[in-house]
Structures are given as C-alpha cells and as structure tokens.
Amino acid sequence: LQTLPPLQLAEKYFQIFPEEMDPLWQNPCHDKRHKDIWSKEKTCDRLPKFLVVGPQKTGTTALHLLLTLHPAIISSFPSPVTFEEVQFFNGPNYHNGIDWYMDFFPFPSNVSTDFMFEKSANYFDTELVPKRAAALVPRAKIIAVLINPVDRAYSWYQHQRAHQDPAAINYTFHQVVTGGPSSSKELLVLQSRCLKPGEYAAHLERWLVHFQSRQLYVVDGSLLRSNPALVMEGIQRFLGVTAHCTCRFDESKGFWCQRMEGGRPKCLGKSKGRKYLEMAPETRAFLMEYYREHNLELLRLLNRLGQTLPLWLREELQSSS
C-alpha cells in the first residue's frame, strides 16, 4: 500500500471531493465514529447552550451584560484580537476549527447546570450561520433581539459614522436609505448593510430551517431598554434558569445599568446609548414604508410561532395602516 505525504494527499482528496473543501463542523461526540478518534484529553462540553445572534444595534451588549449577571450563565471569553465578539460561525474564523472555538469557553464546573453562551451580533443575518450553528450545536437555544428596524437602521448608521466609515461620513442618512440603483457603489453597499438586517422575518425563517421553533426566542429590544427586569424574566423562563436581575435606572446615562455593591451604577460605555439628532420625519416615513411588508411578515411569523408581539411592531403596523 502506497500513500502520498499528508499535504499532497489532502490536495488529491479535495480534487476528487471539491464540495468538501468548505467544512461543516459537527459535534464530535454526536457520532460514535468521530468520538472514537477524538482525543481523550478533549471534551465536547466546551460549547454554548445558547446563542445571542443579534442583529447589530438592537441592545445585544446590554443583554449580554444582563445575562452575565446571572450566577448560572457563563459567557464566552472575549476575543483576544478584538476584545469583543467571537464571530465564529459567520466569517473566516470558522476555518480555524472547533478547537479554536472551544477555547473561548471554560470547562464547565457542572455540565447540566452551567449555561454557557456566546453573543455575536452578525450571526442573525449572515446566510451561512444557521446551518453551521445547527451542525455544531443542534440543541442550542437561539435568542434574537428586535427593535423597530427604522431605529435600528439609524443607530447602525450613527455607529458607522462614529467608526469613521467614509461612506457614512460622505452621505446623510436620508441619502443612504433613499439612494436609487444609479447611486455610487459605496452608497449602495452601505445602504444594503444598513437596511437588510432589519428585514427580520426573512432572516428568522432561515434560522427556522435549521432549528425548531421552540428553540427560538425573540426579545423585544425596546422593552429590554425600558424594562430589562421584565425581559430578563421571559428569557430566564425560556432558558430554564432561576430569575435573577440586578439593575437600576441611571438618570444621567438615561439607561438601565448594573447595580454594583454599595449601590453604585456601572453603565455600558459611550458607544452604547449614543446621543444623536432625531431622525428627520420624511426619512422615518420613507423607512416605515420600506419595512411595512417585512414587518407584516414578522407579524405573521410571530403569530405562527405563538410568540408575544413586540410593542413596537404593533405600534408600527397600526401607524402605517
């Protein structure tokens, strides 16, 4: 029997099976053949029980913080590169493999009672993510935070400006959202990134192809902002953990903050809860129309799933009908 050196062997293999070049990582412990060749030093327990998937600018950082205040809930470690989200399922990090991903999680002290999770806000609307997540953590629960997509788009635009995105600096919000097909490429790219994540129903449907409806929970992000304790109750019920919330409203921040020992508040940083001018009424009207059909789809979807309708969705549909 003759064999090629590993690299050439791999090249040969992928010439024969090109469709396998893009990996789809599965939990090694879910298949006996994989488990048998999985190192004895390793465990399959360093994986999340739930994912907070976004989308961006809906209050995902606040939710992340509130979750970590619960004694049974353990977050992934921050990325040593960005000090922020792991961003595994959605981009080049996926090719680093599952050992790389598992290194973001501690060894749980009690597998049945510890709830490890990860929050990456770009997961929600990235095409490949639900399929990849379902392959690795098929039993995970999925939490999406939704606010009025009109406000989400505006917040996202302000975020891009704060990060000196040249297109967001060059164009007003109104230009970004109303730009027609003959607009510059940079404007159209920004427009798509600004508006598409807010087409909530289409993204949720993709998650539902790979996860059962009882695994999915939609959080009203506006309520999370105004009454986090109430929202946390619902999330804790969904996860099956005891109720726990230590937060209080901070007048100067204008948001709910963590209540520290001694009563001092610890709020999120300056980049969360930014101060910016109100959206121009004509831009809001344009976006309300843009999102009308998508919001109706969301209404039908949430009714089908038997989930509570966010207040903002009721209000938005009432005012645009």
Question: Annotated active-site positions, please?
Answer: 57
Neighbours of 120 (CB within 10 A): 25
Q: Which is nearer to ligand A3P, 54 or 130 (CB)?
A: 54
Tell whether 139 is in a known binding site: no
Binding site for ligand A3P (CB under 6 A): 56-62, 121, 155, 158, 224-225, 255-256, 268, 272-274
CA distance 157 to 163: 10
Least separation in angstroms between residue 58's CB and ligand A3P is 5
Least separation in angstroms between residue 42's CB and ligand A3P is 33
Least separation in angstroms between residue 176's CB and ligand A3P is 15
CA distance 282 to 252: 30
CA distance 184 to 191: 11
Least separation in angstroms between residue 300's CB and ligand A3P is 25
Q: Are the beta carbons of 149 and 60 closer than 8 angstroms?
A: no
Per the DSSP assignment, residues forming a β-bridge with 180 are none
Q: Which is nearer to ligand A3P, 58 or 148 (CB)?
A: 58
Tell me the C-alpha to C-alpha distance, in Å, between residue 33 and each of 5, 29, 45: 24, 9, 18
Amino acid present at 205? E
Contacts for 22 with CB less than 8 Å, ≥ 6 apart: none
Tell whether 12 is in a known binding site: no
Q: Is 95 helix (H, G, I), strand (E, B) or coil?
A: helix
Q: Which is nearer to ligand A3P, 231 or 298 (CB)?
A: 231
Tell whether 141 is in a known binding site: no
Tell whether 35 is in a known binding site: no
Q: Which is nearer to ligand A3P, 28 or 221 (CB)?
A: 221
Tell whether 193 is in a known binding site: no
3-state helix, strand, coil in the chain (%, to 5): 50, 10, 40
Least separation in angstroms between residue 122's CB and ligand A3P is 11
Tell whether 225 is in a known binding site: no
CA distance 43 to 103: 11
Amino acid present at 312? W
Q: Which is nearer to ligand A3P, 120 or 136 (CB)?
A: 120
**Which positions make up the binding site for 3'-phosphoadenylyl sulfate?**
155, 256, 272-276
Bind-site residues: 155, 256, 272-276
